[in-house]
Amino acid sequence: MTLYSYAVEHDNGYAPNPYFGVCTLFRCEFRKSAAGGASERSAGHRKLVYAMRVDEKLTREEYYKARRFAQKKPVQGGKYEQTRGDNERPHNHDERNQFALVSRHFSYFGAKAICIPKDLDIEKKGPGFRSHFDQADIGRFVEWLKRTSKRGKRGEPCYREPPKGSRRCKLSC
């Protein structure tokens, strides 16, 4: 198993897209676990914004044509989750090498990002990603996540006006 960690600098529900019971990564860096970044559009350092196990890797064209992902197509003027659609029509040959990562096994926290325990050294700060973790560290992370959270969408994106009474981003750990 490989764990990828990167800083989410802008969490707006587009990448990752946690809507309609499936988490997808398409229009951004494709990674399996993401910690919050320093931007006001994210949750802050040492926070877990989302984690996903990649169940499928589809080409852009396969993703677009699959009827099961029709709800992931953007709808202008629709509800917020409909406007975040990442399943856009392919329109040039360079995009054939782009892939959509699909997960039915995910935890998305968004503005309710959870603190990563200090003994789990998985955070990546700055650009790029981190993927050199030993299997024991990956196992501890997976077990911690299972104990800590249920699967699915647990919160709304960080960079969106949260519903009244909900927690805002950048809580301290």
Is the pTM higher than 0.75? The answer reads: yes
Amino acid found at 166: S
How many helices (H) and strands (E) are present in the chain, helices listed first?
3, 10
For 144-167, how does the pLDDT look when each residue is reduced to its tens digit (9 = 90+)? 999 998 999 999 998 765 444 445
Low-confidence residues of the chain: pLDDT under 70: 27-44, 92-97, 160-173
State whether residue 5 is helix, strand or coil: strand
- Give the type of residue at 124: K
Cα distance between residue 121 and residue 116, in whole Å:
9
Q: Which residue has the tokens 């989410």?
A: 8
Tokens of 98: 């782009």
Task: Give the tens place of pLDDT for each residue, 83-106.
Answer: 999 998 877 655 556 789 999 999
pLDDT of residue 172: 47
